[in-house]
Amino acid sequence: MTTKELMDQYPDTFKKLGGIVYNLNRIEVSVITLLSVFFADRSDAQSEKNFIWNEALLDSHIFETFESKRLLLIKVIENMWRLAQEHSLPFDKEKWLGTCKAISGVQEVRNKLAHHMLSFLPDGNVGYHVKKRAKERVADRLAGKPGTMKVVEFDLDKELSRSQEVCDETDKLLREFLAETHAILAAVKR
């Protein structure tokens, strides 16, 4: 069956898959923007340093994956927490790390959906087959369910909703995090 035929047969499923991918793209743009603004020279918005940094952020040879940008954000969070602690300033490290963890969850689902041959299930979900582990095969055999493969299933409504929530949270992160970190950095300068 061709992709077009599958799209014609399962238009809602493809719409949800596209929504999950699109939401992760939006999340990545928000993280890139956050990092760009965080590291920008606020005294000179047209600084060559800013242009070099932005060029590096968008260079796939330097930041090969979105994961490397997410890990950089975690490093920023950890260091802002340290600065806040050293200067008795408020900073909710766990909230920001929780957002990073939620981003990772969306990344993981998107990657699994993108890198497997999907089956379109009757309930509107999708899945793919993986080999059972030895323990699973033994347990299934004893339960009268022989076979070497199992289906990993995704509830696309749930995953799309979750990706949208993380997208919304990341939009808030952009505004709130930058305001908090700017206040911490300004207080530390004094």
Distance CA 167, CA 26 (A): 7
pTM here? Answer: 0.85
Per-residue pLDDT tens for 119-161?
Answer: 999 888 999 999 999 999 999 899 998 899 999 999 999 999 9
- Continuous H helices in 48-92: 48-57, 66-86
End-to-end CA distance of the chain: 66
% residues pLDDT > 90 (the chain): 66
Residue 45 has pLDDT above 70, yes or no: no
What local confidence, expressed as pLDDT, does residue 116 receive?
A: 94
The reported pLDDT for the residue numbered 128 is 94
- Beta-carbon neighbour count of residue 26 at 10 Å? 17
**At residue 157, what is the residue type?**
D
